[in-house]
Amino acid sequence: MKKYLESLKERLLDYQIDETLLLKILSDYKEKISKINEDDFDALVKKLGDPREEINKIVIEYKLKLKENEGKETNTIIAMVPFISLVIYMVLGFGFDLWHPGWLVFIIIPLLALAFTVFYDNLIAGIIAISPFVIIISYFFVGFYYGIWHPTWLVFLLLPLIGVFSNYRSMSLKSFLFVVSPFVALIAYMFLGSFLHIWSRGWVIFLLVPMTGVLQENNSKRLLIYELSLLLAIIVGIITPYFTSSWGYSFFGLLIPAFVFIGYGEDSIIKFTKETIIDWLVFLTLASIFLIIGILYNAWGYIWMVLLIFPAYEIIKQAPDNAKIYYIMPFVSLAIFYSLGYFYGFWKYSWLAIILIPIVYFIERD
């Protein structure tokens, strides 16, 4: 139901419609759906009709008109930007032989369009919309002028973080910290590995994720014990390499929080049930691959990508049937992007893998 109504709302917002009428139309369709007693999107499409076709009926019934940009001057400026950009590009190319990176002037086109449309209606939405272009320009600037493509690519992790920040008002502080912790941990891990060359010991930074996750625990005693067990695992992970030539023993510190989490029985965070057995098998298999290949081949610089399979697997199970590929594309794009850069040095080109995300979105949406 939710997806069907969101699809209707998204298309209705392309038209000139006041809030009262919008809520009325959505309420009418919500009532129709409740009578059908069906939640599956595909089933609703069969019984109610495709949202795109329903929009055409609504437009005719309520005589809705498409939104137009405010003012003729705005339209004129936006329309002229492509030509101005082309002229600037030609001048830079023929006059100064700056075909590259002169092509970046074409980024002005979507930037100005956003400035005159999205920014006009919503400042926060405008900042979010413009952020990918700022990030891409920053990535190219550092890459072309300083030759530092890696680890500059980490700026792309700001995209999901910006998305999280845009919804901070609807999230509790604990939930917010947990959501951003994987991105912060990955950035910190890449920094420790790239600049300080401590890939093998830097893995402890990922324990920040469960440390923020257990903050959801309501029982203060259990919360304290969980946090202390994770802190001990971090300490073991840091100091073990100083007492043994095989730093792989540092992973034994993970047994501490594992025993603690399991030891609470029914109140435990970690539960082994029939419903979760496959999830655990997938996780333990991936974790084993990560540890074995990392230890045997010192492959910490890239083997971490195998861990992306687990969240992608969980997302596939819960994602709608017609959007499963789109939901996992951030993980696929990240793996392609990093692999091309890490193994072949194609950092200046591998960023194109990120474009797969919006491409898949529009393909599956239609």
In a domain, 76, yes or no: no
pLDDT at 110: 66
pLDDT digit string (tens) for 199-236? 777 888 888 888 888 888 788 888 898 889 889 988 88
pLDDT digit string (tens) for 250-263? 777 888 888 787 76
pLDDT digit string (tens) for 281-324? 888 888 888 878 877 887 877 888 888 888 788 778 777 777 77
pLDDT digit string (tens) for 320-340? 777 778 778 878 888 888 888
Beta-ladder partners of 66? 15
pLDDT digit string (tens) for 11-51? 787 777 777 888 888 888 788 777 777 666 677 777 777 77
The DSSP output letter for 15 is: B
The span from the CA of 306 to the CA of 286, in Å, is 7
pLDDT digit string (tens) for 48-99? 777 777 777 787 777 776 665 444 555 666 667 777 878 888 888 888 887 7
Nearest to 350 by CA among 206, 86, 199, 156: 156
In a domain, 343, yes or no: no
211 membership: H or E segment, kind and range: helix 208-213
Longest Cα separation, the chain: 77
Listed residues 47, 62, 77: the one ending a domain:
62
In a domain, 185, yes or no: yes
- Is the entire prediction scored with pTM above 0.75? no
Query: Is the pLDDT confidence value at 136 over 80?
Result: no
Average pLDDT, integer, range 181-189: 82
In a domain, 298, yes or no: no
Query: Is the pLDDT confidence value at 271 over 60?
Result: no
In a domain, 252, yes or no: yes
In a domain, 236, yes or no: yes
Listed residues 62, 94, 111: the one ending a domain:
62
Nearest to 342 by CA among 141, 146, 138, 150: 150
Query: Is the pLDDT confidence value at 123 over 70?
Result: no
Tokens of 141: 């600037």
The span from the CA of 131 to the CA of 66, in Å, is 27
pLDDT digit string (tens) for 342-364? 888 887 777 778 778 777 776 76
pLDDT at 70: 47
pLDDT at 69: 45
Q: How many domains does the chain have?
A: 2
pLDDT at 1: 60
Print the domain residue range for 47. Answer: 2-62
Listed residues 221, 236, 271: the one ending a domain:
271
162 membership: H or E segment, kind and range: helix 158-166
CB neighbour list of residue 29: distance below 8 Å, 6 or more residues apart: 4, 5, 8, 48, 54
In a domain, 290, yes or no: no
pLDDT at 334: 81
In a domain, 77, yes or no: no
The span from the CA of 300 to the CA of 304, in Å, is 6
